[in-house]
Amino acid sequence: MSTIETIAPAGTWSADPVHSDVSFEVVHAGVDVFRGSFGEFSATLTGDVLTGSAKVASVDVKDEQLSGHLLAPDFFDAARYPEIAFSAAHLEREGTALTAAGELTIKGVTKPVELTGTISDPSVDPFGNERIGLTLETTIDRTDFGVSWNAPNQSGGDYLANDVRLIARLALKKEL
Amino acid sequence: MKVLAVSGSLRAGSHNTLLLEEAAAAAPAGIDVELFDGSLIAELPAYDQDLDAEGDVPVSVQRLREAWAEPDAIIFATPEFNGSVPGGLKNAIDWASRPLGEAPLLNKTVTVVGASTGRFGALWAQNDLRRILGIAGARVVGEALPVARAQDGLSEPTRDALRSQLDLLVEATAVPA
């Protein structure tokens, strides 16, 4: 990027959980996209530093049995690794395009990741809150983080893809 | 550290029960391997969600859940019936995989071994059992340990492999830093 712009006006901007969403998508059975999300998470933007975390136990999918399996050692091992964390010490903005190079920790494994997305200019809602919209996403190989469960499709190939798309759509509200 | 040893074979003189007795005898210092009373597996009713009412489960189920919840880890030895896990053992796992979120098998460190009189050492049953235990919420460690031609007795390498399997249980039970 040729110029580095200020990411957001000075202050601390925190995710408003009602209007934000942290989710994941993975190709399922080789043909469709399965989606899940985390109900409890936090994210904070200060200057060009973005940090966030999600409670693994808050994983939300449409099947209670599957939720249980996702929390077990086969997948996230929530009892030992209760949190997923992300931090980016340096964000870059060009217009509305945003890049965040940082580190992602899942199941106790920390890896460098680069997320891309968009950021809005601030607005003020009807109640006087200053807000910024921010989206970021990346695709990781879940097996790099030890989330390796799989099963063979009867027609060949794996039931779950290794590549998982992570998406954060954040409504950031300026802290008073 | 306490390891419960669960045999999937109920018969007297079972090669799998014998394998677990050998594991208990070969256990490294500090590992207390206790054989699970297989008659309890035979007493369990077939899993039925209508019987699985909170605070009102059959006595045999309550005893099973308490016995499997208490140890630090479990070593299973399975024979192979019709290419897979014996129905009685699978039924016990079904009971021990509930209630959701607080099941005895949830986050329990487990490993699987198996013996047969044939050439394959119950390998299919072990692979199925590992998959079943993982889905039931357990922390499945080690690799399958197929003991073939069990009627010929255990070799020293097999005893070493049993010790290694128990060592893996100890390592995996420790909470990571």
The residue with greater pLDDT, A99 or B101, is A99
Say which residues have a Cβ less than 8 Å from residue B98's Cβ, sequence separation at least 6. B52
Contact B100 A68 (CB under 8 A): yes
Mean pLDDT of A116-132: 97
Contact A73 B175 (CB under 8 A): no
Mean pLDDT of A111-139: 97
Among A157, A126, A146, which residue's Cα sits nearest to residue A74? A146
pLDDT of residue A165: 98
Report the CATH number of the A12-174 domain.
Answer: 2.40.128.110
Give residue A160's identity as a one-letter amino acid code: L
pTM listed for this prediction:
0.87
Residue B177 pLDDT greater than 70, yes or no? no
Closest Cβ opposite residue A80 in set B100, B134, B175: B175
**Which of chain B's residues have a Cβ under 8 Å away from the Cβ of A71?**
137
**Which of chain A's residues have a Cβ under 8 Å away from the Cβ of B135?**
69, 72, 74
pLDDT of residue A5: 72
Domains of chain B (ranges, CATH numbers): 2-173 (3.40.50.360)
pLDDT of residue A2: 42
Closest Cβ opposite residue A64 in set B100, B134, B140: B100
For residue B51, the distance in angstroms to the closest alpha carbon of chain A comes to 19
Closest Cβ opposite residue A73 in set B131, B139, B175: B139
**Which of chain B's residues have a Cβ under 8 Å away from the Cβ of A79?**
106-107
What would the pLDDT profile of A40-98 be if each residue is shown by its tens digit? Answer: 999 999 999 999 999 999 999 998 889 999 999 999 999 999 999 999 998 999 999 99
pLDDT of residue A64: 86
pLDDT of residue A4: 57
Among A170, A176, A141, A144, which residue's Cα sits nearest to residue A54? A170
pLDDT of residue B174: 84
Domain ranges of chain A: 12-174
**Which of chain A's residues have a Cβ under 8 Å away from the Cβ of B106?**
68, 72, 79
What would the pLDDT profile of B42-57 be if each residue is shown by its tens digit? Answer: 999 999 999 999 889 9
Question: Does residue A52 contact residue A38 with C-beta atoms inside 8 Å?
Answer: no
pLDDT of residue B54: 87
